[in-house]
Structure 1
């Protein structure tokens, strides 16, 4: 049974359509390539309902996507949407981008595709593109993976991507998260001797207890600070759901990783960004001391801090209380970023919060 479709396609007619279409909002940045090297910028991005409806600004998608060399895409709804994204990347970079994608995956009437897109000047597809067979039928949308090669360094790497079911409660997601430990073992069986990057939209914070089976195998998240879903409030982000998990003893464990808070990069409101781009930010890792492509400022994206910087930042962040439950969350508490925007109350000190009738969350360390 054919498990993937592969495209190396430049649709000149579609590209003309993209160029002639009216922009939803202008992009004013001037982009310039960083110097060539052996490093790669490997990203993951849930591009909300890509290809569905007429609201997407593909030029903006291309401007953000060109920061990277490789992108694992979740929530692609149509092949047309993927080809338009590929064309936007090619227009933004002046380079050819390869693409491959899965069939439509999902248990219910809601189905989506996974996709990989990459700069052909820097990366080559090797083999092993496959949708997980999921012997226990535990995934609503089975993960998708393939193996690639860094053309500059010769390094081979496997990428697996997944969009964990959201459900009505957190408990609806934990079964799939726990099953990722078995999936990790399976990935090493089909890509023996190859470093694996497990990336996607996991709909769960990386400190949740459901990750323990995967952590027990020596797998760790690269992103542990910040948030990747766009709040309705400009400048605020709600949940750290998107991530990249790697072997703690592998070559990518020490790779810098970060979050591209693209509304500020494009100079648009969160409302416009959610409507015309996505409600998720891209995340990325940098291999071999690579830098993000393009002429951008450090303040335009978030890089994971060192342990010392993280501790200092947490000490300066405000405490967040939930006005409905009267539960208080310190910056180092797992639920710190989960409090809904409408219910947030900010405090500078624990004493101030306690005087206001708040108590510390039971899951705080």
Structure 2
């Protein structure tokens, strides 16, 4: 009988130990999730409070941004934090026939007292999978000038016609026109060549001293485009602010799909530009970062005054 009692006691001890291990594993999972969300809400304070004499401008392919992605609270928190670090950010790959995803994102951005607004294009594309561009901007630092419009192309070379808008700083003399593009991967080389015409068109309708910046997901690398090849946009009158050395992909590769190109001279350009590696800044796992996007946003700092 004594032996049976000891065995029953040992069995109970093993069950209690197993239950304890399960509780620890579950708790660890919640702790990791809480840590991620905490880091998202508190990270990158320095970048949110960049020099008040500068404007942070950039581009972000959010990768199939629609109702499904906008329903993920943790992803929306990260996207909101990213946007708040910018004064102007050109968004690509908005795929939402309901037109609610972007509006929900901006409401989330402004939920902390920020004051962001947006300009959005019509739905563009040759297939049933239409996309929109948007310029999201901080109303406390910049204002749109005139009316945004799609490039009036005559040759139908762009699958998603570039979307053009002008902005000025609320303080200082910064004034520039932007064209955002998401090239079709299978026709990237031809579309990148044609971006020169877009920039020259914008230059022709603007005062001569105002820079034109063409930015977005060019698909300008890898199997889509030979980044060493010459295109008209690489003439001496332009500067590729995001060069071939910058990795703009969240994936394991090092491709520079996303670009910022400016006319020269650009008296506002500081020389400070790159990819905003939000996974490192916010201490995210690779798996979670990939839920946010497969692209890093790119950025450049411009002076408000020359």
The SS at the match of 2:85 is coil
Partner deviation per Cα, 1:39-75 (whole Å, 9 max, x = no partner): 1011110011112424641111111211111111011
C-alpha displacement of 1:80: 1.3
TM-score (norm 2): 0.78
User: In the TM superposition, what are the counterparts of 1:1-365 in structure 2 within 5 Å?
Assistant: 26-28=37-39, 29-30=41-42, 31=45, 33-34=48-49, 37-54=52-69, 56=72, 57-78=75-96, 79-92=99-112, 94-167=113-186, 172-193=187-208, 194-205=210-221, 208-216=227-235, 218-224=237-243, 225-231=245-251, 236-275=252-291, 277-288=292-303
Instruction: List alignment gaps of at least 5 residues for structure 2.
Output: 1-32
Partner deviation per Cα, 1:327-347 (whole Å, 9 max, x = no partner): xxxxxxxxxxxxxxxxxxxxx
Number of the residue aligned with 2:23: none
Q: Which has the higher helix share?
A: 2
Give the conservation status (yes or no) of the 8 Å contact 1:43–1:285.
Answer: yes
C-alpha displacement of 1:24: 12
C-alpha displacement of 1:190: 2.5
C-alpha displacement of 1:248: 3.2
Instruction: List alignment gaps of at least 5 residues for structure 1.
Output: 1-21, 291-365
C-alpha displacement of 1:145: 0.8
User: Quick one: distance in 2 between partners of 1:23 and 1:112?
Assistant: 33
- Please identify the structure whose Cα radius of gyration is greater: 2
Give the conservation status (yes or no) of the 8 Å contact 2:240–2:262.
Answer: yes
Give the conservation status (yes or no) of the 8 Å contact 2:90–2:134.
Answer: yes
C-alpha displacement of 1:270: 1.8
C-alpha displacement of 1:111: 1.0
Give the conservation status (yes or no) of the 8 Å contact 2:63–2:295.
Answer: yes
The size of the alignment, in residue pairs, is: 259
Instruction: Output the aligned Cα RMSD.
Output: 2.4
Give the conservation status (yes or no) of the 8 Å contact 2:248–2:295.
Answer: yes
The SS at the match of 1:40 is strand
Partner deviation per Cα, 1:112-166 (whole Å, 9 max, x = no partner): 0000011111001111411012111100000001111111113211111000111
TM-score (norm 1): 0.66
